[in-house]
Amino acid sequence: MCGIAGLLAPQADAVPEWETVARMCARMAHRGPDTQRVIVDGPLALGHRRLSIIDLRPEAAQPMWNEDRSVMLVVNGEVYNFVELRTELLTRGHLFQSNSDSEVILHLYEELGEGCLDRLRGMYALALWDARRRRLLLARDRVGKKPLYYHLGPAGLLFASEVQALLASGLVACDPDLEAIDEFLALQYVPAPRSAFKGVFKLAAGERIVVGPGDTPRPERYFAPRFDGVDGRPLDELAGDLRERIEEAVRLRMVADVPVGAFLSGGIDSSTIVALMARHSARPIKTFAIGFPDKDTSEFRFARLVARLYGTDHEELVVDPQMVSVLPELVEHYGEPFADCSAVPTWYLSRLTRQSVTVALSGDGGDEAFAGYHEYRAASLARGIRALPAPMPQAFSFGLRHLPGAPLKPVRDFGRALLRSEAERHLGVMAHFSHEERMAMYGPEMRRLFERDRLAERFNAIVERSSGPEGVARLIDLDMQTYLPDDILVKVDIASMAHSLEVRCPLLDREVLAFAATLPSRYKLHGLSTKVALRRAVADLLPREILNREKRGFGMPVDRWMREDLAPLARDLLLDRTARSRGLVEPAAVERVIAGHQRGEPRGWQLWTLLVLEQWFRTFVDRSIAPAALPLAQSIS
C-alpha cells in the first residue's frame, strides 16, 4: 500500500521539475512511511511513497521499470492473483527483478497493453508510463478501493492518491466547487468525478485515462458490473458456491510479509472474515473492535462472542465524546468535506490496529453485494405500497407526511419520497438534507444555482442505465457506483492510511462480486430478511446470535452527542462571525436545525454535516495549504 503522484508536462520536449512531485509525495508520507522515490523520464515525473507489504527488499521499490526500461509503473494497492500471473508471465520469457505483486502489472502490460487491467484481481490506483509511445495510463480498480485525483493546468497534468498532495504542489488553487458542496450536504460525501475543489477531479471506480503530453484527460469506463445474468439454481447450491469464493478471497488476502489481523465488529460480514481466517492460520488471529460508552450503541458483546469462539487475540477501544476533538485532524486528512460520522471510530480503530499489525482484513462490501442496508427494505416497502390500487399510494404518502411528533421525521421523509422515482426515493431516504431542506437553508446565490435538483437527475440516470432486472439490483448498482466507492471506501482508505495501515476487503473480491450479482434478488432481500444467501453460506461458521442479529451501523451515537456533549461545539462553530459571513447558508436556518434537534427531532447527522463543512472551509479555503517540506533524501534518475 502506498501513495503515488506525478506530473506530465504539456509538451513532449518539456522536462517537469522533480521537486514538484517530491513535495506531493512528502505530503503523503503517512501512506508510505518506508521510502520515497521520484523518477523523471522525458516529460513525466513519477513519484511513490512505499509501505512495504510484499517483498520488503529494495528491488521491489517504485517507480519500477521493466527489463528494457520501456515501461515504468507506480501503483497504490495490491494484486491478489499475482502468483498465478507471475507464473504465466515467466513461461512467456519475462524477467522479474523482484517478488512483488506490483511488478506483474509491468509485464502484463507488455503482453496485453491497456487490456492488462482486465486480468488484475485486486485493489489499485496506478500510473503506467509507456516511454516508447509517450503515453500515460491512469487507472482505478473495479470497485474504487484506491483513490486517484487529477488536475489539468498550465504546468501539465497532475495526479496523486490524495487531493492534499495536489494542493502541496503549489499549482492548484483552494477554490471550492459549489456544486460539490451541494452534493456533499445531501450525501455527506462528494461523489466522483467532482471533488470539493474547482478543477480537481476524481477518477471513478472502473475508469482509466490514456493521455499524452498536452492532451486533455478523458476518463473512460473499462469495467461496469452486470446484474442481468441471474442464476436460477437452488439456494443451497448457490450458497455453497458463494462460500467457496469468499473463502478463496480471504485466503488470498492473508498473503503478506508483515503481520496481518482483522477488524471485528461482531456483524455477519466481519465475523465471517474472522471465522475463515482462523481456518487458514496456524496462530490466533489478531482482532480489533471499537465501541461506545452507551450499551445501546456498543457492539462489544457480539465481537467478544466471535473472538471467544475462534480464540482470537482480541483488543478493544471505547470511543467517547471527547475523542471527537480529532475532527480538525480528520478533516485535514480527508481533504474534502466528509461527514460519515463512522469515520471517527474508523480512525481510532485503524490507530489501535496499526499498533499490532500492518495489514487488516475487513467486512466492507457485504451490505452492497448482498443487500444488507435498511434502505433496501424501505425501497421494497415503497414498491409494495406503490403497487396498490389508486388512490391508496397517495393516501399513504399523505398520511405519513403528516404524522405528528419530532422523532417521526424519518417516517415523514419516507412519505415525501414515496411517490417519486426509484432513485429519488432512495436518495430521499439516504440524504441528510433533502433538496427542499437545502433550498430552505441556502443563501440567495446557492438557491439560484441549485434550484434544479441535479443530484436527483444524476441518480435517476444511473438507475435508468443499470443492467439490473428489477429494483433491488438497480439500487445495489446505484450504491456500487456512488455510496460504496465515494463514502465507505474513502472512509476506510483515509482513516487506515493516515496510520500506515493496509485494509483488505475479501467481500469486494472481483469473483465474489461477480457471483453475487447473479444471485436472484429474493436470495438477497426476502421480506424483512437481508443477506439471505450469505447467511446460508456461513450458517455453520457463526453462532445463531450473530446470524440473526439486525444490521447495526458503525457510527457514533451522533443524535445524543450533538444534543448533549457536542452541542456547545456545534453552536460555537456554526454561528460565529466567520461561519455567518460565508453566505452559503442562512444563519437563521442553522439556528432552526439546532433548535429542532434540541426539541427531539433527529437532526444530529445534519448538524455533524454542517460542522464538518465549516471545519473544512477553515482548514482548506480560509488558509492556503503550505507546500510540504522536502525530505532530506530523494532518489532521482
- What residues are labeled active site? 2
Decide: residue 200, CB within 10 A, 0-12 exposed, 13-18 middle, 19+ buried.
buried
The C-alpha atoms of residue 589 and residue 444 are separated, in whole angstroms, by: 13
- Specify the amino acid at residue 19: E
Q: Is 525 exposed, middle or buried (0-12, 13-18, 19+ CB in 10 A)?
A: buried
Three-state DSSP class for residue 263: strand
| CA 617 to each of CA 150, 391, 543, 612: distance values in angstroms, whole numbers, following the listed order | 21, 47, 47, 9
Nearest to 149 by CA among 203, 212, 219: 203
Cell of 387: 403497487
Query: Is 190 exposed, middle or buried (CB count within 10 Å of its CB: 0-12, 13-18, 19+)?
Result: buried
Residue 343 three-state SS: helix
Per-residue b/e over 452-480, b at no fewer than 16 CB within 10 Å? ebebbeebbebbeebebeebbbbbbbbbb
Contacts of 577 (CB under 8 A, 6+ apart): none
Cβ-based burial of 207 (10 A; exposed 0-12, middle 13-18, buried ≥19): buried
Helix (H) or strand (E) holding 137: strand 135-140
Question: CA–CA distance from 310 to each of 212, 305, 350, 541, 629 (Å)?
Answer: 53, 9, 22, 10, 47
Tell which residue, 149, 173, 151, 146, has the closest CA to residue 163.
149
Write the single-letter amino acid at 454.
R
Torsion angle of C-alpha atoms 466, 117, 149, 342, degrees rounded to 10: 60
Give the CA radius of gyration of the chain: 24
At residue 237, φ and ψ (nearest 5 deg) are -70, -45
CA atoms within 13 A on the CB side of 84: 8
